[in-house]
Amino acid sequence: MRTTKSRRLISRKLVAGFVAIAVVGLVAGAVGCAGKPNPGYPTPTAEAPAVMPQPDQFGIVKAEQWKDIYPNQYNSYLKNADNAPIYEEYTAEGVDDTTSALYEGYTPKPNDKADYTHDLYPEIQTLGKGYGYAKYYTEPASHVYSLWTVTHNGRVGDGSKTKTGCITCKTPQFSKDVDAEGNEIFSKPFNDYIYKYDENISCASCHGNDPTTLRVDRAGWTVAMGDDADKYSLQGQVCGQCHCDYSMDPVTSVPTSPYDGVASMVPDKALQWYDDHNYVDWTYETTGAKMIAVRHAEYEFNYGGEGNHMTNMGYDCNDCHMPATFAEDGTAYSDHNWQSPLDNEDLIKRDCSTCHKDIKAEVKAWQDELDGRDHQDGLRCEKFVHNFEDAIAKGTLTDEQTSRLQYIQRAATYYWNFVGAENSEGAHNPQLVRDTLSKCEALLDEADGILGVSSVVES
Ligand code: HEC
Ligand code: HEC
Ligand code: HEC
Ligand code: HEC
């Protein structure tokens, strides 16, 4: 049942005798080999295309061009259209829908996606005040809406001032422009670039122009992995290049990672890095706290530090989120409709259930406990901020107390955010979530002691 750590540290590609080629900013390896989870199922394979389709003006082959060559993968990719963004009567300032080709094929419609800022976690409005996510933060949609979402998320604000950084994980066409123009591109205005692109996250984001290989080309990921790039699977890294935390360099606006290897991919080490390098995403107006925003740390919760149980057993992101399935003619292929493994009855039956008695109930119990506790800690952070503001107004704090409380606001909110911005609601690593929230709570206890007022909120 359990594989040893040394087994995990070796990419499955290497185990199977393939050699991963590592070039600066690029890692490539062969697809479709190696002993997998998915017991009893064949590992899908594919042959390289006989004739390479013509790349577009950016140099990428578009999803549609693969439809006859890899029909199973392509058709399952199209099913992502069902996982559509939340509809709000809202368009980011400076965005003109009528002139853009981005939105063809998508008519926004009401759905059951959550509005985090206004419905589920209203504490975001206080804790993120002064930063984009306090205005707008919803449950994500699927990869095929990435360009729509980035221009309609109400966070980009004035697109002539916002920089290009957030386009990094939204289209492979931008990655090509980064290659061509270098890091200067990250100090350019969002609006000067976004309307050139018409391909959402697609085949090229994970495969380059050859779907029989996996490749990682997101700027900065190579730095984040340090010496571990060859030791960890590409199946995890292709997702991790976008599903990870990062922050924009204060001077160059280049998306920069706080990591230098997998051991460093844990919340307290990342915070230490941001502290050591004076990273400040925004300054909190009323208290002067230097704040950090955290992004979707899915790679960290699965692989970071010692890793979780499932990655230690050899499972990668794709084993749960794009498992092998069969076409009508019996061909095995990887399901490219990225969804919750809990929506896949076949996977649960043949795989998860061999160890988990009731994986749905187990995940729900983790999420109820951990998402509930994170929300509770968020409300507590919010109350602490108000207590802090009151003390500032009364003028009762020493400089030393003020500076300690500013740091506590930065760090406690950071831990709360690290957990909250992760999309599995605690399922990917229940124990790491508990440890992270305990750190948040310990800081708030300390703040309560300094302020002489409790921040605890009745649940
Ligand atoms: C978000 C990343 C991602 C995107 C986007 C993506 N793939 Fe894949 N693809 C994978 C992964 C991961 C595998 C499994 C590789 C493995 O296990 O070695 C895979 C496997 C494949 C394979 C090998 C056979 C199989 O089914 O496992 C083919 C062919 C393929 N993809 C085609 C495509 C095409 C065509 C598109 C676009 C329509 C696409 N992929 C988009 C990640 C992606
Ligand atoms: C190029 C960047 C990129 C890569 C590579 C990538 N993702 Fe994503 N992923 C995103 C973005 C951005 C979103 C949100 C899109 C939106 O809301 O429009 C997303 C959304 C998702 C969602 C939907 C979330 C939801 O709540 O419905 C899943 C599941 C997902 N990704 C899994 C994966 C897996 C598994 C891989 C690797 C095989 C992967 N992603 C690779 C950027 C990426
Ligand atoms: C052992 C299986 C497993 C592995 C490995 C795994 N996940 Fe998940 N993932 C889950 C479960 C379970 C959930 C919660 C699903 C739910 O709430 O329905 C989830 C949720 C998510 C979500 C939110 C989407 C949704 O539909 O709820 C994203 C995005 C995601 N995972 C990305 C990743 C990425 C990226 C990796 C690798 C870095 C990864 N996962 C590895 C099991 C896994
Ligand atoms: C070979 C046995 C085995 C199989 C098969 C298995 N799991 Fe697990 N899983 C475990 C064990 C053991 C743990 C750790 C104990 C616990 O918390 O339940 C675990 C933990 C988890 C966790 C918590 C995160 C972590 O890794 O600590 C998730 C989520 C999970 N499993 C999802 C899945 C899903 C989804 C599948 C099917 C695709 C699956 N598991 C298949 C044995 C297994």
Distance CA 335, CA 322 (A): 5
Distance CA 230, CA 219 (A): 17
- Among 45-54, 55-64, 127-136, 323-332, which stretch is predicted with the lowest mean pLDDT? 127-136
Q: 424 CB under 6 A from ligand 1?
A: no
Q: 66 CB under 6 A from ligand 1?
A: yes
Q: 36 CB under 6 A from ligand 1?
A: no
Query: In this predicted structure, what is the pLDDT of residue 39?
Result: 72
**Residue 34 backbone zone (phi > 0: left; psi -120 to 50: alpha; other: beta):** left
Mean local confidence (pLDDT), 184-212: 93
- Alpha-carbon 218 to chain mean position: 13
Query: In this predicted structure, what is the pLDDT of residue 2?
Result: 27
Query: In this predicted structure, what is the pLDDT of residue 133?
Result: 80
Look up tokens 């002489």; give the residue.
Answer: 452
Tell me the pLDDT band of 89, cut-offs 50, 70 and 90: very low
Distance CA 145, CA 111 (A): 14
> Which residues, including other chains, have CB under 8 Å from residue 7's CB and lie 6 or more apart?
15, 314
Distance CA 151, CA 149 (A): 5
CA of 182 to the centre of ligand 2 (A): 25
Query: In this predicted structure, what is the pLDDT of residue 116?
Result: 87
**Surface-to-core class of residue 359, CB atoms within 10 Å of its CB (0-12 exposed, 13-18 middle, 19+ buried):** middle
Nearest CA to ligand 2 atom 37: 239
Per-residue buried b or exposed e for 166-205, using 16+ beta carbons within 10 Å of the residue's own CB? bbbbbbbbbbbbbeeeeeebbeeebbebbbebebbbbbbb
Query: In this predicted structure, what is the pLDDT of residue 82?
Result: 84
**Surface-to-core class of residue 68, CB atoms within 10 Å of its CB (0-12 exposed, 13-18 middle, 19+ buried):** exposed
> Which residues, including other chains, have CB under 8 Å from residue 456's CB and lie 6 or more apart?
380, 383, 448
Pocket of ligand 2 (CB under 6 A): 83, 85, 139-143, 145-146, 149, 169-170, 201, 205-206, 238-239, 241-243, 317-318, 321-322, 338, 423
- Among 100-114, 128-142, 315-329, 369-383, which stretch is predicted with the lowest mean pLDDT? 100-114
Contact 90, 98 (CB under 8 A): no
Tell me the pLDDT band of 282, cut-offs 50, 70 and 90: very high
Model confidence pLDDT, tens digit, residues 236-268: 999 999 999 998 888 898 999 999 999 999 999
Contact 72, 328 (CB under 8 A): no
pLDDT at 97 over 70: no
Distance CA 429, CA 349 (A): 22
Distance CA 20, CA 28 (A): 6
Measured from the alpha carbon of residue 348, the closest ligand is 4
Q: Give, in order, the Cα–Cα distances in Å from 71 to each of 49, 74, 75, 277, 336.
A: 12, 5, 6, 47, 11
Query: In this predicted structure, what is the pLDDT of residue 401?
Result: 98
Query: In this predicted structure, what is the pLDDT of residue 321?
Result: 97
The average confidence (pLDDT) of the chain is 86
pLDDT at 22 over 70: no
Nearest CA to ligand 1 atom 10: 206
pLDDT at 37 over 90: no
HSE-up of 307 (CA within 13 Å, CB side)?
22
- Among 109-113, 295-299, 395-399, 447-451, which stretch is predicted with the lowest mean pLDDT? 109-113
CA 340 to ligand 3: nearest atom: 26
**Surface-to-core class of residue 110, CB atoms within 10 Å of its CB (0-12 exposed, 13-18 middle, 19+ buried):** exposed
Contact 134, 127 (CB under 8 A): yes
CA dihedral of residues 271, 273, 278, 283 (deg, nearest 10): -20
Higher pLDDT, 253 or 364: 364
Distance CA 451, CA 32 (A): 58
CA 36 to ligand 1: nearest atom: 17
Query: In this predicted structure, what is the pLDDT of residue 26?
Result: 34
Contact 210, 48 (CB under 8 A): yes
> Which residues, including other chains, have CB under 8 Å from residue 380's CB and lie 6 or more apart?
441, 444, 455, 456, 457
Q: Give, in order, the Cα–Cα distances in Å from 184 to each of 150, 252, 353.
A: 21, 8, 50
5 C-beta neighbours (distance < 10 Å), count: 10
